[in-house]
Structures are given as C-alpha cells and as structure tokens.
Structure 1
Amino acid sequence: MYSAISKSAPLLARGPSFSTTAMASISRITVIGGGQMGSGIAQVAATHKHEVTLVDVSQEALDRGKAYMAKSLKRVAKKKHAEDEAAQSQFVAEIMSRVSLSTKPQEAVSRADLVIEAIVENLKVKQDLFAQLSKAAPQQAILASNTSSLPIGKIAELLDSQRKQRFIGLHFFNPVPQMKLVEVVRTKEADQEVVDSAVAWVKAIGKAPAVCKDTPGFIVNRLLLPYMMEAIRLLERDVASAQDIDTAMKLGAGYPMGPFELCDYVGLDTIKFIVDGWHKDGEGLKGNPLFASSTKLDELVKQGRLGVKSGKGFYDY
C-alpha cells in the first residue's frame, strides 16, 4: 500500500526571509512510502542532517527502499571522494545512520515535525492513511502529500479543521536527489505560517520551492501534460514521427528531452491516469479537450507498453 508509484520557469517563492527558528522547528521527518519517491525524499532529508523514519507495509519493501538509498548515496560518494574508498563508505554510513525503518506508521509519526506521504495515487487510500496518522502525530506536526495529480484539499477531507490548517502539498520530482524543484501547494485552509515553514525547510534541504494554489496539476504538470498530449496527437495525425518530434523540441526549443522520451520516462499509464481523471472530474478541467483521451496512448497502455519501466513505450529500451 505504501510503495510509491513511479512518476519528474517555476515561480520561486517570494516574501520575507525565513528565520533559523522556522527551519529548526522541522528536524524529525517521517516519510510514508518506501518506493523510489519516498526513499529519495528520505535520502535528501537525511543528507541534510534530519532524523528520518521511512515507513512501508513490509520489511521487504523497506529493504528495497534502503537499498535504493544506499546505491544512490554511493554514486554521490564516488564523486565527492573519488580516490578515497574509506571516505566514501563513511559518507554513506553517516547519512544512512540517520534513517530508521518502520512498518508501524502511527508509531513512526508520534514524534514527527513533518510527515510526508509518498504512496500510491489513490484518493481513498491517501484519505484513510491521513485519518489514521492524524490521531497519532503531534498537533503541531505538518502533514504533507507528495501527490502529483490529486487535489490536496480532497486528500485532507477527513481531517478536522486544525489538521487541515497544517496540511499542504510537497510535490518532489523524480529522481528526488537530482531534481531541485519542490512544489509547495497551499490549500484554502492552510495557515501561512505552515507554508512559510515548509518553504524554509525545502530551502534547508537544498531544493528550490515554488509555491502555488491547490489546482489540478499544480504548476509543472498543468503545463506539461497538455504539451505531451499534443505531441501524441501530432503523431496520431501523422504530422511527423516520434523521433522527429523529439528532435525538433530538443534542438528547436532547447529541451533536454523530447516529449516522447519524457512520456516514456514518466510512464504512459501514469499519464493516462492523470489526464483521464482531469477530463472526467478535474476542477475547472472537466471535459476540456486538452485532456481528452488519446487512441494511441490507450492502445500502448493496453499492450503493456508503459515506457522505460516496462522496457517498451513509444521507444524500445
């Protein structure tokens, strides 16, 4: 349940400078979900000297998350201490020593300053999880979801008014250790102090915050999904090949990846899940042709061609 599904010019937060007190108030982090996203968040937090508890439903899932962190940190260590294997080992061991593992979510959040959920993109599962966690987490703890597509306000729907004031979105991007952006999503109920503390914490872990309202897709995906869907429709209309469209956008627009390379990286099933949901019931997006279904996308998902993770998508890997 808690394993995260695979999922990658922001308006940087402006306003008053944030005090060291605000940053120091967040030191103990609990991450729910030991998949690639959750373990990546845990790794970054531990790297910046936070006490981190990573939670999942089984020891096997936690071991996979721990192995992912160790592998990622070893790559960093080799760059940081290229000729010193002892220093590399010490670097990894020191960071990993700040990460504990747990299969008991309510116990894991009992001392947390910040709880970040990075589990499957299912609204009811997320709602039920936070309903449980709200009974165990300290009243001053900030609760946050890493969702990329679900409304933050709806995820918090079962919580009382006080909890809703301390509930936000913290949308990291994959791979978390490399991607600098974190979208800080504020709901109508969220206290400004909570948003400010989250922004300060994001900066403290070496990331760049972009603050936005709780709207479908937030900033990046709201702009990115129509771009990818229109690329697919160009292919369906036989305007150009996938390779030529990718080449055009990389060399003509300066993008590091073309739209089809990006689709395969994100996962075609993930793209379909998001656009179908927005077209069916997205706030302000219901029936919007930008998010209408695509025959080509539907066929590829049905065939199990999901992109990089399945070995085949628009391209073969």
Structure 2
Amino acid sequence: MEINKVLIIGAGTMGRGIAQWFAQQGVIVELTDAVSEMAIKSQKMIADSLNTLKAKGKFTEAQVTATLNNLKVVDLENYSTDSDLVIEAIIEDLKIKTDLFLKLDKTMSKHTVLASNTSSIPITTLARNLSKGRQEKTLGLHFFNPATIMKLVEIIETPWSSKELANNLKTWFAAQGKKPAICKDYPGFIVNRVARNFYGEAFQVLESYDQDKIKEIDEVMTEVGGFKMGPFTLMDLIGIDINYDVTCSVWNSYYNDPRFRPHRVQREMVDSGRIGKKVGKGFYSYDK
C-alpha cells in the first residue's frame, strides 16, 4: 500500500500533530479547518516545533525544509479530491462528523480511504449511510497525543471495512515506526476503554478537588506504579474537556455501567474552564 497524499480535516491539537507526523514521513499533506485562521496558526506551530527540534540537534535543516514543503494549508472548500487518505480530526459531535463523511463520500476519488480520529464515536455509525464502495474504505485511525511521538495507532474496523485494507494500513504504519493495533468498533476501542479505570480510580481516591492529593496520586502512579505520567498530569496534557467527553461517551455506550461513570470533579473542571495545559490551567498551572 502506498500513501503519498493525505488530507487532514481539523487543525486542533490532534489534527496538527497528525499532519506534522505524516509530513515528516515524506507524505504530501493538506491541512484544513472550518476556521481558516486555526489552520494557519497550526502551520506556524508546526514550523516552530520543527525549528525547536533542529535547535536541539534532532532534525537537520534539510529535514525541516522537506517537512514544511510537504505541508500545505488549504481552504475547507478547496481541498484536493485525489488524496489517498482523509483523516477527520474535528469536534466530537456525531452530526457534524456524519455530515462531513457524507460530503467526503461524494467529493473524494473512489480510491480514497476515509478515516476518523474520534476517541469514542462509533466508526460504524459514521460509515452506515455511505455508499457501499466507500464503506469498504472507511475505518478508524485513532492516534494519541502527541501524535509525532506516541507510537500507538488504533485501526478500527467496521462490519463493512475491508480486512485487506486494515492489514495493509497496519503494515504501512509499522514501516513508518508506529505500533498499529487492529481492533473492532467497541466503545472506547482499546485504550480509552482500559483508561477509564486509570482515571476513574484516581477520581475515587481524590473525592473532591485537593491540590496536595492530586500531586500525591500522580507521584504514587509514577514513582511506585511505574507509569510515565500520573492520571491528572495526563488529563491536563490531553485536555480535561476531551477526557470528560470520552468518559461520558463510553459510559453511555455501556448503558451507564458504574465502572465508567464520569466524576463530578471532571465536570467542575470543565465548567470552570480549567481544561488543561492548552489553556494554562488544569489540575496544575502552566506558563502560557
């Protein structure tokens, strides 16, 4: 399988990281967003990231130039229709995603593979009303933040998706240094289902917002448990709002099973706008 050109729709944290990773692999990338300023800002952030890596001696000038040359920002209504792969990384809203996939089904070339980076929305639901030929080429590709560093990619199959396509994608990603895992379209897929307990048990111990206890739980998980990050540090990195949305989605998908129930501290953090590192304040404070 060859992937020479990719369209990334959604220029937020995940879309930006996915776009940078593909560009670093020598793939031509078009990055677009409903808010054009967001895509332009992400392009600059990618350039800044690459220049930082160059300053640290991890990238050469030639590698930075080649990566940036592979990346192009386009208007949402003017993307190329001949990409080998489209990855949707927009807001976790079922209707908006469904409408986008219906549009892509009509506008993209017949050979184009459609994929969603959703954390929790069923891929089967997104593919259900697509044309038969497109259903075979639609699946989930769930990257993890930061996409340029985290190696795992979940490849989520639907009842209609081609097994040959899933296997070919697994081979392609492995050749680029990723650790792909094929899974069925279950709520939360693999990681987000398992992770509910990682976060949920931490909230049960926390009970209510307590900065000292937050630090203590994270320290226990890293220094004793051997995790690279504690649950609260990780939620700050991912975005507490995103984590809360995924928790609610998985909980609803499992018919309100108490194991997956959201915690009121999550809701309090979201309601107060303290949603993590991206805004400078979450369970911890960060310099913007």
- Give the TM-score normalised by the residue count of structure 2: 0.92
Q: How does 1:121-160 map to 2 (within 5 A)?
A: 121-160=92-131
| Mapping for residues 78-89 of structure 1, pairs under 5 Å | 78-80=55-57, 87-88=60-61
CA distance in 2, matches of 1:152, 1:109: 24
1:82-121 Cα offsets, whole Å, 9 max, x none, are 8xxxx52x3322211122221145x524111111111111
Show the counterpart of 1:6: none
Give the aligned partner of residue 99 of structure 1.
Answer: 71
Give me the whole-angstrom Cα distance separating, in 1, the residues matched to 2:120 and 2:187.
6
* Greater displacement, 135-144 / 32-41: 32-41
Structure 2 residue 244 is the aligned partner of structure 1 residue 272: yes
Structure with more relative contact order (C-alpha pairs < 8 Å, separation 6 or more): 1
CA–CA separation in structure 2 for the residues paired with 1:68 and 1:238: 33
- Paired position in structure 1 for 2:225: 253
Bigger shift: residues 186-195 or 73-82: 73-82
Percent identical across equivalent pairs?
38
Contact 1:44 1:205 in 2 (8 A): no
Q: Distance in 1 between matches of 2:138 and 2:45?
A: 28
Q: Structure 2 counterpart of 1:261, which letter?
A: T
Shift of 1:124: 0.7
Question: 2:49 corresponds to which residue?
Answer: 72
Q: Deviations over 1:257-296 (max 9, x none)?
A: 111212222222222212222223x0xx111001223222
Distance 1:81 1:294, change over 3 A: closer
Q: Note if contact 1:127-1:157 (Cα within 8 Å) is conserved in structure 2.
A: no
Structure-2 separation of matches of 1:295 and 1:43 = 35
1:309 maps to which residue? Answer: 278
CA contact (8 A) 2:25 2:176 kept: yes
Distance in 2, matches of 1:178 and 1:121, equals 23
Q: Is the 1:109–1:136 Cα contact (8 Å) retained in structure 2?
A: no
Q: Which of these residues, 200, 206, 214, is aligned with residue 177 of structure 2?
A: 206
- Contact 1:246-1:259 within 8 A present in 2 as well: yes
Superposition CA RMSD, Å: 2.1
Q: Distance in 1 between matches of 2:54 and 2:209?
A: 47
3-state SS in 2 of match to 1:140: coil
Q: 2:16 aligns with which of 39, 46, 50?
A: 39
The AA in structure 2 aligned to 1:33 is: G
SS at match of 1:97: helix
Aligned 8 A contact 2:121 2:249 in 1: no
Residues 1:28 and 2:5 are matched in the alignment: yes
Q: In 2, distance between residues paired with 1:44 and 1:277?
A: 28
AA partner of residue 233 (structure 1): Q
Deviation, 1:76, is: 2.6
Instruction: Name the amino acid aligned to 1:123.
Output: L
Indicate which of 200, 224, 230 corresponds to 1:229.
200
